[in-house]
A and B are shown apart, each in its own frame.
Chain A
Amino acid sequence: MATQISTTNVVPRVIPWRTISSIILLIFFVLFLAVPLWNLVMEMVANPQLLMRQLIIGITNGAYIALIALGYTLVYGIIELINFAHGEVYMLGVFFSLTLIGLFGLSSSTPPELLFPLMLLILLVTMTFTALLNVSIERVAYRRLRNAPRLAPLISAIGVSFVLQNVGQLWGFLRFPIFNGVMGSNAVAPKSYPQLISNYNVLSFLGENVRIRLTIRDLVVLAVSFSLLVALYLFIQKTKLGKAMRATAQDRDASALMGIDVNRTISLAFLLGGALAGAAGMLVGMYNGTAVFNMGFTAGLRSFTAAVLGGIGNIVGAMFGGLLIGLISALSDQYLSARWTNAVVFGLLVIILVFRPTGLLGEEGGQKA
């Protein structure tokens, strides 16, 4: 009969950290947050029209956040790099479109037959600019580092982000007469966008008592964003290049063996992401009316959170994530305080990454250890 050998020193203790921290968080939540949250919900319900307006703002913001989020998700899905500079690409899109608007001398008094075609043109040119910018960033700063330890391209990305922020700061020096004064009088101050699309409340026909506001601006942003999102989705799903992108995201080496030009596919991801960021830039510029050099940071943070929320690498996920983050930000701005919104979004990011890093809709493109 066999007997067991007696042991020596170590008694292995297993402490269920995850369970403990979840319980602590739950207690914390109940004690400190449950009541204020309840009050918050009551407040929201009390004024439904204000809530509706916030929801509309949220969805509109969500649309442009989704556009930027797609840039993050496309790049991360294909080379597993967080393109820190992406927010700045968006910011430069805002500035670029503003400059073009100045160049063409557009303003609220421009006749519609001239205004809309020119704005469309500006949109396309801006998108081209940001697309090419993003591609160049990849070429210059990331390509050589593709096989380096992940620290290197990450640091590089941060560096590029800083450089571009500075470019945004200095953009205001373009105060040449042909730009018709859009850059304002002070190089480093925020610039204001001319009022190009009217703020007319489409729902005003519902009468005096209905104070829900849905403006033409909202509709334009929604329409353009939605079209772009659908276009991108179709591109990724239906075209050959889109398929190549999905394949490269899943397994780069296998794709190369199948004859896919990996470098070009990666550049394509940057190209598309950049283009969408540029579109978002112009839309936001028109919607919010300002351009300032550090708007890339906040937008980038929110969009990245959206991408992670939806599942990084997941296209549809980025869209839903964007919407969700847009809503949360709008609600936080209104019912909590705009000062805290960044912290709320960051907090949400931390929670997702710790408790559900694959996001709500799950990752695509494979996780490499």
Chain B
Amino acid sequence: MNPRIRSGITGGVVGALVTIVTGGLVGYFSGMLAGLIAGLLASQLEHLSDMRQGWRQGLEAGLVAGALVVVGQLIRTLMIEPALGNQWSFGTALQIGASSLVLAAVVSIIFGVVRTLPQPKDTIATYAVLGVLILLYPWIDTLLQMRFMNEVIPVLVFVLMALGLNIVVGYAGLLDLGYAAFFAIGAYTTGMIASPHFGLNTSFWIAIWVAAAVAAIFGIILGAPTLPLRGDYLAIVTLGFGEIVPIAANNLDSLTINILGYTVVENLDLTGGPKGINPISRPWLPGIGEFNPTNQIPWYYLILAIMIFSIFFILRLRNSRLGRAWTAMREDEMAAEAMGINIVRTKLLAFAMGATFSGFAGAFYGAYISAIFPESFRFDVSVMLLCMVILGGLGNITGVILGGLIIQFADRLFLPHLAQLVQSLAQNSNNDVLKEINFASDFRLLMFGLTLVIMMQLRPEGLVPSARRRMELHSDEAQPDVITGNVTIDAEPDEGGRLTV
């Protein structure tokens, strides 16, 4: 199939689904989203260097995408809204539909043109356009009354965590199934010092650094026992720690420590137990005052800033002596050691660095929700993060972000909206069984599980794999051992991807 049409369909389907499930003025946003996906994908599949041709590429993909969004809009207006008991005029639907078509085409064309620029201008320009869209998003959200902001922010928190996990699993090749523990540690540290819990009330801006440092230390503590372990066992032990931390958090609300019979501490409420720690102080900036739950915008920019900051440093790590040591260790631990790499130090640094970014995420999250509970840090958080990294492509920042966004948006926005939709439809249809089904929670595990199973069968290297990874997983010759693959010679030449970071 023509790559432009394919890209258009991909973008269009996503946009259409968003519209169908959300309705309202979201149509405009869906158009832009569809155009963005279509334009990027088309230029990725078919690299052009002539601006005129790029224009056409964008146009074609964008129109296909836009058309599908219009279809989605029509379905929404003509079939779903009436079933929900709302009346929408055909005219409004057409207006929104036409606008979203235009928007889709425009956005797609922009990307189509920008991507024809010579390297490195095209990468810079692409990121610039994306950057503008990301920065403007809160206004789009308000204008279109999308009300996605509450969920977008946690999405970004989890994507940040996925980037941290990527260091451990993607770069260093250490399968960590208990990564949520560091998130918990970051959040609890913030909770303990930046709140009235112990009477400390430290400023958020200090607490976030302390939380990251504490998380890093725990990264080393929890990583140390795993050093001699290989693949499966490493996974299980990290899983164990991932479970022990929330259990400890849940139970340490009346801690009594006896040293050799002398009571040092009696009935200390360390973590607040099942009720957690609450409230937690919020950040304060001159000009904005204290961040509060009603105004999402400062939080949005804060988490974006933290993410950009983190990506910046993660890139530095990756392209350094340490980053190469991680990759070498992942490829062939024995050879790496023979080349003078201290495996213990390298692994511990991976854990520490990975934990640090999770610590940032935890600190932010604690302040954002202004409370933390042990329930937020269970095993399925760790697995979901792993899912995000794997879906996107191990070791690849762009991929991880993409995979993260897809899974998070599906989990937090798409499914709940879909569930709400089904619920509303069911209410009006008097079907008892349907009424009980709660899509958002009842099929969540199924969705994750199937994603994992299907991905492993069809495309274990992820959606945006680094070239290395694709080769690692599709060579059928030798039996690579564990994650430190040691694959034999292959005659096929290999090309790297373009947008891969």
Contact = CB atoms under 8 A, between A and B. Distances in A.
B243 A346 contact: yes
Interface centre among B226, B248, B448 (most CB of A within 10 A): B448
Contacts of A342: 243, 247
B132 interface: no
A148 B226 CA distance: 23
A159 interface: yes
A327 B233 CA distance: 24
Contact of A148 (B237, B383, B473): B473
Contacts of B444: 166
B248 A80 contact: no
A350 B251 contact: no
A342 B259 CA distance: 25
Interface stretch (B66-74, B420-428, B476-484): B476-484
A323 to B, nearest CB: 21
B449 A159 contact: yes
B261 interface: yes
A357 to B, nearest CB: 7
Nearest to B224: A21
Q: Say whether chain B's binding surface is mostly helix, strand, loop, or mixed.
A: helix
Interface string B211-230: 00000000000001110111
A151 B472 CA distance: 12
Contacts of B485: 149
B225 A350 contact: yes
Interface string B450-485: 111111110010000000000011001001111101
B247 A350 contact: no
Contact of B472 (A149, A162, A166, A188): A149
Contact of B237 (A145, A158, A301, A353): A353
A110 interface: no
Interface string A148-174: 111111111011111111110110010
B430 interface: no
Contact of B225 (A150, A162, A354): A354
B44 to A, nearest CB: 25
A32 interface: yes
A347 interface: yes
A158 B385 CA distance: 13
Given A35-B258, A187-B436, A343-B244, A163 B483 contact: no
A173 B434 CA distance: 11
A163 B449 contact: yes
B453 A141 contact: yes
Contact of B456 (A34, A159, A188): A159
A155 B386 contact: yes
Interface string A358-369: 000000000011
A353 B233 contact: yes
Q: Say whether chain A's binding surface is mostly helix, strand, loop, or mixed.
A: helix
Given A17-B344, A82-B236, A150-B232, A32 B258 contact: yes
B236 A353 contact: yes
Contact of A35 (B260, B379, B449): B260
A350 B433 contact: no
B442 interface: yes
Given A347-B240, A350-B225, A350-B237, A340 B247 contact: yes
A151 B172 CA distance: 13
B1 interface: no
A159 B240 contact: no
A147 interface: yes
Nearest to A38: B261
B88 interface: no
Given A343-B248, A353-B233, A156 B483 contact: no
Contacts of A340: 247, 251
Interface residues of A, number: 57
Contacts, number: 153
B149 interface: no
Nearest to A30: B260
Nearest to B487: A149
B445 interface: yes
A339 interface: yes
A61 B230 CA distance: 31
B260 A31 contact: yes
B390 interface: yes
A163 B446 contact: yes
B25 interface: no
A221 interface: no
A156 B248 contact: no
Contacts of A166: 442-446, 449
B94 interface: no
A304 interface: yes
A337 interface: yes
A17 B225 CA distance: 10
Given A144-B457, A162-B383, A163-B453, A150 B483 contact: yes
A21 B444 CA distance: 41
Given A17-B344, A32-B259, A150-B483, A337 B460 contact: no
Nearest to A172: B436
B299 interface: no
Interface string A225-268: 00000000000000000000000000000000000000000000
A349 B240 contact: yes
B419 to A, nearest CB: 14
Interface in A299-316: 301, 304
B449 A339 contact: no
Contacts of A16: none
A36 interface: yes
B241 interface: yes
A347 B245 CA distance: 11
B257 interface: yes
Interface in A76-124: 80-82
A51 B442 CA distance: 41
B192 interface: no
A155 B460 CA distance: 10
B152 interface: no
A154 B453 contact: no
Nearest to B479: A147
Interface in A9-25: 17, 21
A169 B445 contact: yes
A155 B483 CA distance: 12
Given A150-B483, A166-B443, A173-B436, 4 more contacts: A145-B457, A148-B456, A162-B446, A350-B225
The 8 closest A-B pairs by CB, nearest first: A159-B452, A162-B449, A163-B449, A159-B453, A166-B446, A346-B240, A166-B445, A156-B456
27 contacts: A31-B260, A145-B456, A145-B457, A149-B481, A149-B485, A150-B232, A150-B481, A150-B482, A151-B231, A151-B482, A158-B452, A159-B451, A159-B454, A160-B449, A162-B380, A165-B445, A166-B446, A166-B449, A297-B379, A301-B243, A339-B251, A346-B244, A347-B244, A349-B237, A350-B225, A353-B229, A357-B229
